[in-house]
Homo-oligomer: A and B are copies of this chain.
Amino acid sequence: MEEHAKPLGLPANQTEIADDGTVGRYTVPVLHDSSTGKAISDSTRIIEYLHEAYPDTPRIIHPETKTLAVAYEHTVLKNVVLHIYATITPRVGSFMSPEDEIKYREMVNKNAGVDHTELVANKEVVEGMWKKAEEGLTLLDGYFRMAKLKFGPESEGVKGGFLEGSKPALADFSLGGFLIWMKHGLGETDEQWKRIESWNDGRWAKYLDAMKPYSEIHE
């Protein structure tokens, strides 16, 4: 990232730590707003910038949820994403050129501490990973169900099925982003993805369906 971003004058992400321990790592997404000349790194900071620069557009950050959304994202990471990181992430390489895929897989295998080809061959270990991810998703499902029980299914902020109400907001884009990463990593027709769609009374399939209008790319 650094060799591409630096010549373009794009900044490092100051909320991440570089490999050498210094603050600031070059990451995507990074925004260059040609109307104002500003360049911003880190997805949350980009959203905050857009809210400030274009106040008449829909807001997805509610001030009251800032710390809670940080906590929620970490809960999803710890209870779901980390368990299956080693089995999903290398698959993302299939969207790259063959040369890039080789480099990418080497990097991911190093991060995950396990060779992906060997891992996939060990069905029992992969099953165990998915078992833990299922427990994690069931925990998240429980939060939705408990809020429904405590506040009522038709109460403001609960009805609509998103985390923050009837429209997706910051924490929803964390959860939705991880689900989309799982779906595209596995592939829509993959057996494991079909299983996930059936978990928790189909909550995750319905959630992504509701997220669709907000996750399309307009060119």
A140: B residues at CB distance < 8 A: 71
By the criterion CB–CB under 8 Å, are A44 and B143 in contact? no
| Chain B: CB-nearest residue to A69 | B68
Question: Given the interface contacts A14-B149, A63-B157, A75-B75, does A163 sit within 8 Å of B68 by beta carbon?
Answer: yes
A65 within 8 A of B: yes
A62: B residues at CB distance < 8 A: 62, 64-65, 157
A215: B residues at CB distance < 8 A: none
By the criterion CB–CB under 8 Å, are A67 and B164 in contact? yes
Given A42-B150, A62-B62, 9 more A-B residue pairs with CB atoms under 8 Å apart are: A63-B155, A64-B64, A65-B65, A68-B69, A68-B72, A70-B150, A71-B71, A71-B72, A74-B143
Enumerate 24 A-B pairs (CB-CB under 8 Å) in ascending A order.
A14-B149, A15-B149, A45-B150, A48-B150, A48-B151, A48-B155, A64-B65, A64-B157, A66-B150, A66-B151, A66-B157, A67-B144, A67-B147, A67-B157, A67-B164, A68-B68, A68-B69, A68-B71, A68-B171, A70-B150, A71-B72, A71-B143, A74-B139, A75-B75
